Amino acid sequence: MKVERFSRKLIKPHTPTPENLKKYKLSLLDKCLGHDNFAIVLFYESKPRNKSELEESLEKVLVDFYPLAGRHTMNDHIVDCSDVGAVFVEAEALDVELTMDELVKNMEAQTIHHLLPNQYFSADAPNPLLSIQVTHFPSGGLAIGIAVSHAVFDGFSLGVFVAAWSKATMNPDRKIKITPSFDLPSLLPYKDDNFGLTAAEIVSQSEDIVVKRFIFGKEAITRLRSKLSPNRNGKKISRVRVVCAVIVKALMGLERAKHGKTRDFLITQSINMRERTKAPLQKHACGNLAVLSCTRRVEAEEMMELQNLVNLIGDSTEKDIADFAELLSPDQVGRDIIIKMMKSFMQFLDNDIYSVCFTDWSKFEFYEADFGFGKPVWMAAGPQRPIISTAILMSDREGDGIEAWLHLNKNDMLIFEQDEEIKLFTT
């Protein structure tokens, strides 16, 4: 895909950020997660009647989402909210003659970066914390690519921003009912550097990481659930847990195919702790409040079938949700919880352990983002700095399937794709 970027400008908040909000301190969890960007791309069959609509509404919402128009000051561990502006790029796809439906079906994960602004991984100073690219297709549709720094936002926060921006575009004369809060740094303050490893250090140095999308449709998930016992409370097992277990089982098969046996392994999953902490939190609290749940270290000799894996992931998640409930409690409790979490995550550096990490975006309702010209026909995960054996899980358009964007070594991906259950249950 060839994309020509023909316009780049800085969009500032419609009204200046008040002096008392100019210095936005980062939280302890913000500092642990590093400063890389993460991104989504939303695909639409239509486009706005007025090309300036998206820019004007962005100005409006940046008043409330003021840190996104600022710049990160590394040494001071703050965001300088002096309204420098978010980057807004317009582009045109030149060599695409497909309809939007055909484009979505044939889109390769490796081409998604063409639909995002140039600055792509690092959001270190003085790079912008929010960058947007609107790409127009000859078919009449467009793609909106949104990249944001993990230093200030997690997936939930990005969902809040997209919802507010889309509503402001669709109804420019109405007051936006989504009001974010940025209180997390005061509830979980950053104090020093002596808490150990940051997640940014768990990245692969290999250039042979590829990303591939695997679609687990509604029927496939129903068939998988039929093989499994329900949860202890009688509820059926979540789509995400089922998909995680299938992927892990296939990765264990990959290990045996390569080495004749598996290594010890552990599974990590991000958990959004909003509405799960004992301390109260505003509904649209923005920042980072996703924690990492790690399973116990599973010995290579242990036999792990699909049901065992589902139980392992479920038991770990439920235990960690209970353990993390005190995350926003006063004094030292939250800090101690994060230090313990990061020490567990350090096991990823152990070459004797096969580790896989899942990020769940399935509940963030990106498919509801209607800017006034219809809801997205598809959404894609933007490229991220490569981490071996990582999967981003998102709902499909219908809301009852899961799309898994899997990062693997190129040669490993060839083996993974031949797994019998992967071939049977994915498209």
68 vs 148: CA distance, rounded Å: 8
For residue 278, what are its two tokens? 């004992």
- Distance CA(247)–CA(224), nearest Å, equals 12
Counts of helices then strands in the chain (DSSP H, E): 11, 15
Question: Which is nearest to 198 in space by CA: 333, 407, 26?
Answer: 26
CA distance 197 to 20: 32
Within a 13 Å sphere around the CA of 183, how many CA atoms are in the beta-carbon half? 13
Range 333-351 burial, b when 16+ CB lie within 10 A, else e: ebbebbbebbebbebbeee
Q: Which residue has the tokens 């009001």?
A: 179
Q: List, by residue number, the catalytic residues.
A: 150, 370
Q: What angle do CA 410, 412, 417 make, to 5 degrees?
A: 100
Q: How many CB atoms lie within 10 A of CB 307?
A: 13
Rounded-to-integer distance, Cα 251 and Cα 403, Å: 17
